[in-house]
Amino acid sequence: CRVRHYKFDVVTKNTSRLCSSKPIVTVNGKFPGPTVYAREDDTVLIRVVNKVKYNVSIHWHGIRQLRTGWSDGPAYITQCPIRPGHSFLYNFTLTGQRGTLWWHAHILWLRATVHGAIVILPKLGVPYPFPKPDHEAVLILAEWWKSDTEAIINEALKSGLAPNVSDAHTINGHPGPLANCSTGGFRLGVEPGKTYMLRLVNAALNEELFFRIAGHTLTVVEVDATYVKPFKTDTVLIAPGQTTNVIVSADQSAGRYMLTASTFMDSPIAVDNNTATATLHYSGTLSSTPTVLTATPPLNATPVANKFTNSLRALNSAKYPANVPLKVDHSLLFTVGLGINPCPSCKPANGSRVVASINNVTFVMPKIALLQAHVFNIPGVFTTDFPGNPPAPFNYTGPPPSNLATSSGTKLYRLAYNSTVQLVLQDTGIIAPENHPLHLHGFNFFAVGRGLGNYNPNVDPKNFNLVDPVERNTIGVPSGGWVAIRFRADNPGVWFMHCHLEVHTTWGLKMAFLVDNGSGPNESILPPPSDLPKC
Ligand code: C2O
Which pLDDT belongs to residue 464? 98
Alpha carbon distance 163, 154 (integer Å): 9
In a domain, 24, yes or no: yes
- What are the helix (H) ranges across 323-458? 370-375
Alpha carbon distance 308, 234 (integer Å): 9
The alpha carbon of 506 and the centre of ligand 1 are apart by a number of angstroms equal to 12
Q: Check if the beta carbon of residue 98 is closer than 8 Å to that of residue 225.
A: yes
Kindly report the pTM of this predicted structure.
0.98
Alpha carbon distance 279, 175 (integer Å): 11
In a domain, 436, yes or no: yes
Phi and psi at 461, nearest 5°, equal: -60, -25
In a domain, 525, yes or no: no
Neighbours of 74 (CB within 10 A): 25
Residues 308 and 168 in one domain: yes
Contact residues for 377 (Cβ-Cβ < 8 A; gap 6+): none
The alpha carbon of 77 and the centre of ligand 1 are apart by a number of angstroms equal to 11
Alpha carbon distance 221, 16 (integer Å): 35
Minimum CA distance residue for ligand 1 atom 3: 61
Q: Which numbered atom of ligand 1 lies nearest the CA of 441?
A: 2
Q: How do residues 455-492 score in pLDDT, each as one tens digit?
A: 999 999 999 999 999 999 999 999 999 999 999 999 99
Containing domain of residue 60, as a range?
Answer: 1-124
pLDDT tens for the chain, 535 residues long, are 899 999 999 999 999 999 999 999 999 999 999 999 999 999 999 999 999 999 999 999 999 999 999 999 999 999 999 999 999 999 999 999 999 999 999 999 999 999 999 999 999 999 999 999 999 999 999 999 999 999 999 999 999 989 999 999 999 999 999 999 998 999 999 999 999 999 999 999 999 999 999 999 999 999 999 999 999 999 999 999 999 999 999 999 999 999 999 999 877 666 788 999 999 999 999 989 999 999 999 999 999 999 999 999 999 999 999 999 999 999 999 999 988 999 999 988 889 999 999 999 999 999 999 999 999 999 999 999 999 999 989 999 998 888 888 999 999 999 999 999 999 999 998 887 788 999 999 999 999 999 999 999 999 999 999 999 999 999 999 999 999 999 999 999 999 999 999 999 999 999 999 999 999 999 999 999 999 999 8
Q: Which numbered atom of ligand 1 lies nearest the CA of 241?
A: 1
Q: Check if the beta carbon of residue 9 is closer than 8 Å to that of residue 50.
A: no
Contact residues for 509 (Cβ-Cβ < 8 A; gap 6+): 336, 337, 338, 356, 357, 358, 363, 436, 498, 499, 501
Which pLDDT belongs to residue 268? 66
Residues 482 and 503 in one domain: yes
Report how far apart the first and last C-alpha atoms of the chain are (Å, whole number): 35
Among candidate residues 91, 124, 157, the one where a domain is terminated: 124
Among candidate residues 68, 96, 124, the one where a domain is terminated: 124
The sign one gets for the Cα dihedral 303, 305, 306, 311 is: positive
Q: How do residues 131-163 score in pLDDT, each as one tens digit?
A: 999 999 999 999 999 999 999 999 999 999 899
Which pLDDT belongs to residue 447? 98
Give residue 453's identity as a one-letter amino acid code: G
The alpha carbon of 320 and the centre of ligand 1 are apart by a number of angstroms equal to 25
The alpha carbon of 74 and the centre of ligand 1 are apart by a number of angstroms equal to 7
Q: Which numbered atom of ligand 1 lies nearest the CA of 474?
A: 1
Residues 111 and 138 in one domain: no
> Helix/strand/coil (H, E, C) string of 70-113?
HHCCCECCCECCECCCCEEEEEEECCCCCEEEEEEECCCCHHHC
Assess whether the C-beta atom of 450 lies below 6 angstroms from ligand 1.
no
In a domain, 528, yes or no: no
Q: Check if the beta carbon of residue 279 is closer than 8 Å to that of residue 187.
A: yes
Kindly report the CATH number assigned to the domain that includes residue 456. 2.60.40.420
* Torsion-angle region of 500 (φ positive above 0: left; ψ -120 to 50: alpha; else: beta): alpha
Residues 92 and 195 in one domain: no
Assess whether the C-beta atom of 102 lies below 6 angstroms from ligand 1.
no
The alpha carbon of 476 and the centre of ligand 1 are apart by a number of angstroms equal to 14
Residues 299 and 344 in one domain: no
Residues 361 and 440 in one domain: yes
The sign one gets for the Cα dihedral 443, 449, 454, 459 is: negative
The alpha carbon of 305 and the centre of ligand 1 are apart by a number of angstroms equal to 22
Residues 377 and 507 in one domain: yes
In a domain, 526, yes or no: no
Edge-to-edge strand list for the sheet holding 208-213: 187-190, 275-282, 256-264, 208-213, 236-238
Alpha carbon distance 240, 346 (integer Å): 29
Q: Which numbered atom of ligand 1 lies nearest the CA of 74?
A: 2
Closest to 533 in 3D by CA, of 113, 102, 71, 94: 71
Assess whether the C-beta atom of 104 lies below 6 angstroms from ligand 1.
yes
In a domain, 524, yes or no: no
ipTM of the complex: 0.99
Assess whether the C-beta atom of 115 lies below 6 angstroms from ligand 1.
no
Q: Check if the beta carbon of residue 193 is closer than 8 Å to that of residue 132.
A: no
Among candidate residues 90, 106, 124, the one where a domain is terminated: 124
Give residue 207's identity as a one-letter amino acid code: E
Number of domains in the chain: 3
Residues 227 and 243 in one domain: yes
Q: Check if the beta carbon of residue 133 is closer than 8 Å to that of residue 247.
A: yes
Residues 389 and 421 in one domain: yes
Which pLDDT belongs to residue 269? 66
Alpha carbon distance 311, 314 (integer Å): 10
Q: Which numbered atom of ligand 1 lies nearest the CA of 102?
A: 1
Q: Tell me whether strands 36-39 and 115-121 are parallel, antiparallel or unpaired.
A: parallel
The alpha carbon of 240 and the centre of ligand 1 are apart by a number of angstroms equal to 9
Alpha carbon distance 447, 487 (integer Å): 9
The alpha carbon of 58 and the centre of ligand 1 are apart by a number of angstroms equal to 9
Assess whether the C-beta atom of 496 lies below 6 angstroms from ligand 1.
yes
In a domain, 216, yes or no: yes
Assess whether the C-beta atom of 111 lies below 6 angstroms from ligand 1.
no
Alpha carbon distances (Å) from 272 to 93, 184, 186, 231? 39, 22, 22, 29
Alpha carbon distances (Å) from 68 to 65, 353, 488, 492, 494? 5, 37, 17, 9, 11
- Where does residue 499 rank: exposed (0-12), middle (13-18), buried (19+ CB within 10 A)? buried
* DSSP states of 209-254: EEEEETT--EEEEEETTEEEEEEEES-EEE-TT-EEEEEEE--SPS
Residues 139 and 178 in one domain: yes
Q: Check if the beta carbon of residue 420 is closer than 8 Å to that of residue 329.
A: yes
Q: Check if the beta carbon of residue 181 is closer than 8 Å to that of residue 206.
A: no
Residues 59 and 202 in one domain: no
Residues 261 and 293 in one domain: yes
Which pLDDT belongs to residue 476? 97
Alpha carbon distance 213, 210 (integer Å): 10
The alpha carbon of 345 and the centre of ligand 1 are apart by a number of angstroms equal to 30
* DSSP states of 265-303: --SSSS----EEEEEEEETT--TTSPPBP-PPPPTT-HH
In a domain, 111, yes or no: yes
Neighbours of 519 (CB within 10 A): 8
